[in-house]
Amino acid sequence: MFLYLPIAEISVNVFVILGLGIGVGTLSGIFGVGGGFLMTPLLIFLGIPPAVAVGTEANQIVASSVSGVLAHWRRDNVDFKMGSVLLIGGVIGSTFGVFLFKLLRELGHIDLVIMLSYVVFLGIIGLLMLVESIRAMQRSRSPTRRRKLHQHNFLHGLPFKMRFRKSKLYISVLLPLLIGVFVGVLSAIMGVGGGFVMVPAMIYLLGMPTSVVVGTSLFQIIFVTANATFLQATLNQTVDVVLALLLLVGAVIGAQIGTIVGAKLRGEQLRGLLALMVLAVCGKIVFDLLVTPEELYVIAGGGH
Amino acid sequence: MIWRIAVFALALSAWAGSTAKAQPVVVDLSKSSVDITAGFTGTEVLLFGATSGYGEVVVVIEGPKEIIGVRRKENVAGIWVNGRQIDFKNVPAFYKVLSTNSLDEWLPLAVREENQIGVEYLNLKPLDSNIGAAEASEYRAALIRNKQQINHYGDVERRLNLAGGRLFRSEVFFPANVPVGRYFVRTYLVDKGKIVSTRTIPLNIRKIGIEADVFRVAHQHSALYGIAAIVIAVLAGLGGNALFRRR
C-alpha cells in the first residue's frame, strides 16, 4: 500500500515505514535509547530527502520522549531542576542549530553536513558501545570493582554554583548550560533527541547518578525537539506530519515489543549487537560519501 | 473500455462537426485535470483527435516552467561534495513528445527549434547570462539527463496512430512523481515540412485531499503547522504511554 507524503513529496510503502518504526521502536524499548540516530539515516536510505528526515524525526522524538518521561516520572527519576537548566541551553542550541541548518541548506551543503555529523557521532558512539560491551562481557566473568559516586575535575571549579538536590550535586550552572547548547545544536542538525550524547555527558561530565539520567534527559529532549520541530516547520517547511504519524504508530508498537524482549535477553550481548548496527549504518554513510557517483550532476531544486 | 469507445465516438462527432468549419486538426483529452490524492501512483490521460485527412501530427506535453538549479559534485579530499550550481530559467517541469511518425523525416530542424519540439530543442538558458557556452551546455545536458532519469522528460515517441489516415489517439502517462501545475498540450499538424495548424489545450495537475491541505498549511501557515505537529506528537506520546500503563 503506497501513500503520498505531502512534505517529502514522494510515495512510500506504508508497511515499510511502519516496519521501520517498529524495528527502531523495538531497539529503543530494549536499550532505552531514543532511536533518532538510527531512524534518520534509515529514512534517508529509503529516499526521504535528508532535510525532511531531520525535521520529521525531531517531531517524532517529541512523542516518544513524552511517552518515556512519564514512566520515569512515576518512578521519581526526573531531576526537573537540572532538566530545566539543560533545556534552557538546549533551546538556545537548537534555535541556533536550525538557523545554521537553513544557512547550510541555502549554500547547498546541508546533506553533506548531516552525513558527516552522522559519521562522526555514529562512529564514536558505536566504537564506545562496542568496547563497553566487550569489557562488560569480560567483567561478568571476573569480580567487579566499585566506582566512586563521581569524580571531581576542573569542570567543577567553574563559577555560578547551584545545588541540584535530586542529582546530589553542587556544581556550576555553566556546565549543564553548555552541554545543553551543544546537544541542542546536534539535535537540530542531525534530527536526533541527542540522548546518546546527553546521557554519557551527564554521567561522565556532570557526575549525575545513573538512576535520574535517562528520565532527566528525556524531560529536556521533549522541549528541545519541540523547539526544533517548530523552527524547522516555520523556517524550512521540512516537517512531514504524515510521515511522523506513521513512524509513531510503529514506534509505539515497537517499544512494547522491545521492553518484553529486553527483559528476556542478556544486556551486554545486545549492547554489542546495537554497537555493530550503529557501526554498520555509519559504514554505509561513509561508503556513500566516498564512492564515485554514477551521475556527477544533480538537480538542486532551483533558486526559487 | 466502454468509456474509451465513447470518447472516441465523441472525437468522431467532433471531427465531423469541425470539418464543416474546415478545422485542419481537432484534439481533446479525456480529462481536463489530474488529481493527485494520497494513493496516487501515476495515471493515464487519453488524448484523441482527428485531422482532415492530410499531414502528420506531433503533440507536445509541457509542464509549468520553473527555475531549476543543477549542481556538479566535486571530490574534495576523497569526499563527494556539492560544487558549482547553475540555475536555468524557463525549464518545463515535465516534457514529453508524441508523434505519428519519426520527426527527422518530415519536420525540418529550424521548425523544431522554433517550436521547441524534442528535448534537444528546448530553449534552456542559464539565469546568469555570463556563464560560458561550453559549461552551460554541459550542465544543460546534465539537467535533461536527470529529468529523463526521473521520467519527467521523454524522447519523441511514435505512439500516435492515424486510424484511416484521420483519427489519432494515445494514452499519455503521468508518473507518480509528476510535478503539479498548469500543463499545456500543444498539437501541431505538419504538412510538407510546415506547421499548418496548432491547437493548445490546458491540463491542470493538482494535489487534492488531505495531502494538499497539509502541504498548503505547512507552507502558508507554517507557525500554526509547527504547533499542530507538536500538539499531535505530545498527544500521541500520552496515548502511547496510556496504552503501556494498562498492560
Residue A17: band (very low, low, confident or very high) from pLDDT cuts 50, 70, 90: very high
Chain B residues with beta carbon closer than 8 angstroms to that of A237: 218-219, 222
Three-class SS state of B64:
coil
* Closest alpha carbon to A178 in A92, A99, A97: A92
Instruction: Answer whether residue B17 shows pLDDT above 80.
Output: no
Contact B142 A256 (CB under 8 A): no
**Which spans in A32-173 are helix H?**
36-45, 50-74, 80-107, 110-139
Nearest-angstrom CA–CA distance, B59 and B187: 4
User: CA of B129, closest CA in chain A: separation in Å?
Assistant: 15
Asked if residue B190 and residue B172 are part of one domain, the reply reads yes
- Please report which helix (H) or strand (E) contains residue B183, including its range: strand B181-191
Residue B197 near residue B24, CB atoms below 8 Å: yes
Distances in whole angstroms, Cα of residue A262 to Cα of each of A28, A266, A269: 10, 8, 11
Distances in whole angstroms, Cα of residue A195 to Cα of each of A17, A122, A171, A211, A225: 23, 13, 21, 15, 11
Burial readout A248-271 (b: 16 or more C-beta within 10 A, e: otherwise): bbbbbbbbbbbbeebeeeeebebb
Dump pLDDT digits (tens) for A110-164.
Answer: 888 888 888 998 898 888 888 887 887 787 666 555 555 555 566 666 667 777 7
Asked if residue B111 and residue B204 are part of one domain, the reply reads yes
Residue A283: band (very low, low, confident or very high) from pLDDT cuts 50, 70, 90: very high
Tell me, what CATH number does B63's domain have? 2.60.40.1930
Nearest-angstrom CA–CA distance, A219 and A204: 19
Asked if residue B220 and residue B199 are part of one domain, the reply reads no
Residue B9 confidence (pLDDT): 60
Asked if residue B134 and residue B221 are part of one domain, the reply reads no
Residue B1 confidence (pLDDT): 52
Nearest-angstrom CA–CA distance, A234 and A256: 33
Asked if residue B214 and residue B169 are part of one domain, the reply reads no
Asked if residue B236 and residue B115 are part of one domain, the reply reads no
Instruction: Answer whether residue A22 shows pLDDT above 70.
Output: yes
Instruction: Answer whether residue A92 shows pLDDT above 60.
Output: yes
**Which spans in A150-209 are helix H?**
174-190, 195-200
Dump pLDDT digits (tens) for A77-88.
Answer: 888 888 999 999
Instruction: Answer whether residue A287 shows pLDDT above 80.
Output: yes
Residue B13 confidence (pLDDT): 57
* Closest alpha carbon to A56 in B36, B179, B214: B214
Average pLDDT, chain A: 82
**Of residues B21 and A15, more confidently modeled:** A15
Asked if residue B201 and residue B128 are part of one domain, the reply reads yes
Note down the domain range covering B36: 2-208
User: CA of B184, closest CA in chain A: separation in Å?
Assistant: 22
Task: Give the N- to C-terminal CA distance of chain A in Å, as an integer.
Answer: 33
Asked if residue B218 and residue B143 are part of one domain, the reply reads no
User: CA of A303, closest CA in chain B: separation in Å?
Assistant: 6
Q: What is the mean pLDDT of residues A32-50?
A: 83
Find the range with the poorest average confidence among A88-97, A143-152, A241-250, B140-149.
Answer: A143-152
Nearest-angstrom CA–CA distance, A61 and A37: 11
Asked if residue B177 and residue B77 are part of one domain, the reply reads yes
Contact B238 A70 (CB under 8 A): yes
Residue A214: band (very low, low, confident or very high) from pLDDT cuts 50, 70, 90: confident
Cell numbers for A19: 516496519
Inter-axis angle of helices B222-246 and A50-74, to 10 degrees? 40
Nearest-angstrom CA–CA distance, B222 and B230: 12
The total of structural domains in chain B comes to 2
Find the range with the poorest average confidence among A57-66, A95-104, A243-252, A287-296.
Answer: A287-296
Instruction: Answer whether residue B232 shows pLDDT above 50.
Output: yes
Chain A residues with beta carbon closer than 8 angstroms to that of B79: 112, 289-290
Contact A241 B146 (CB under 8 A): no
- Interface test mutation site (partner A, options B36, B206, B225, max chain A beta carbons within 10 A): B225
Residues comprising chain A, all counted = 304
Residue A213 confidence (pLDDT): 83
Nearest-angstrom CA–CA distance, A141 and A135: 10
Nearest-angstrom CA–CA distance, B168 and B28: 11
**Of residues A256 and A187, more confidently modeled:** A187
Contact B226 A109 (CB under 8 A): no
Cell numbers for B180: 503539479
Instruction: Answer whether residue B94 shows pLDDT above 90.
Output: yes
Q: Are strands B167-174 and B43-51 parallel, antiparallel or unpaired?
A: antiparallel
Chain A residues with beta carbon closer than 8 angstroms to that of B177: 9-11
Backbone phi and psi for residue A209, each to the nearest 5 degrees, phi listed first: -65, 140
Backbone phi and psi for residue B123, each to the nearest 5 degrees, phi listed first: -90, 80
Residue A304 confidence (pLDDT): 36
When CB atoms are compared, the residue of A64, A237, A296 closest to B73 is: A296
- Most confidently predicted of B12-16, B158-162, B195-199, B236-240: B195-199
C-alpha angle B83/B85/B90, rounded to 5°? 160
User: CA of B230, closest CA in chain A: separation in Å?
Assistant: 6
Asked if residue B235 and residue B127 are part of one domain, the reply reads no
Residue B12 confidence (pLDDT): 56
Three-class SS state of B147:
helix
Residue A88 confidence (pLDDT): 93
Chain A and chain B share a number of CB contacts under 8 A equal to: 185
User: What letter does residue B38 receive in the DSSP assignment?
Assistant: T
The CA radius of gyration of chain B, in Å to the nearest whole number, is: 23
In sign, the C-alpha dihedral spanning B58, B61, B67, B73 is: negative
Give me the percent of chain B exceeding a pLDDT of 70: 89
User: Which value does ipTM take for this structure?
Assistant: 0.82
- Interface test mutation site (partner B, options A2, A7, A11, max chain B beta carbons within 10 A): A11
Residue in A with minimal Cα distance to B69:
A302
Asked if residue B88 and residue B35 are part of one domain, the reply reads yes
Residue A303 confidence (pLDDT): 40
Dump pLDDT digits (tens) for B187-230.
Answer: 999 888 888 899 999 999 988 888 888 888 898 999 999 999 99
DSSP letter for each residue of A247-265: HHHHHHHHHHHHHHHHHHS
Residue B245 confidence (pLDDT): 67
Residue B6 confidence (pLDDT): 58
Give me the percent of chain B exceeding a pLDDT of 90: 24
Residue B246: band (very low, low, confident or very high) from pLDDT cuts 50, 70, 90: low
Backbone phi and psi for residue A8, each to the nearest 5 degrees, phi listed first: -65, -25
Asked if residue B154 and residue B231 are part of one domain, the reply reads no
Nearest-angstrom CA–CA distance, B33 and A12: 24
